[in-house]
């Protein structure tokens, strides 16, 4: 299996995400270590993890607003995503979706 950054590159991840992902050896650690709820939602979306659930979680994240800084909101959003989209749902898709299949989903 290709490294995480290569698989995300195949899914058209942004340069910042690729740079960040290079610090992880596996997707589970990356999922648990990510402080960007928007990135977690994107990842769940490209893997086609229960689209209705991903949409509901996106709406829940949208409610995280106020005068707090972006970093605080992103961390709160990441916590919301991880609470409502269990790692097991994501892991099941990763076993099926290797780098080549991720590229097919995005095209």
Tens-digit pLDDT profile for residues 62-107: 877 555 566 667 788 899 999 999 999 998 887 655 555 555 555 4
Residue 22 to residues 8, 25, 29, 53, 80: CA-CA distances in angstroms?
10, 8, 12, 28, 24
pTM attached to this predicted model = 0.81
pLDDT at residue 9, as a whole number: 82
């Amino acid at each position: 299996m290709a490294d995480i950054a290569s698989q995300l590159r195949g899914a058209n991840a942004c340069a910042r995400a690729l740079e960040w992902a290079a610090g992880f050896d596996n997707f589970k650690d990356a999922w648990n270590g990510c402080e960007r709820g928007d990135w977690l939602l994107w990842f769940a979306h490209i893997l086609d993890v229960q689209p209705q659930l991903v949409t509901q979680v996106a709406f829940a994240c949208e409610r995280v607003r106020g005068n707090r800084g972006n970093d605080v909101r992103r961390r709160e959003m990441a916590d919301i995503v991880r609470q409502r989209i269990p790692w097991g749902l994501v892991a099941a898709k990763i076993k099926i979706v290797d780098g080549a299949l991720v590229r097919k989903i995005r095209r």
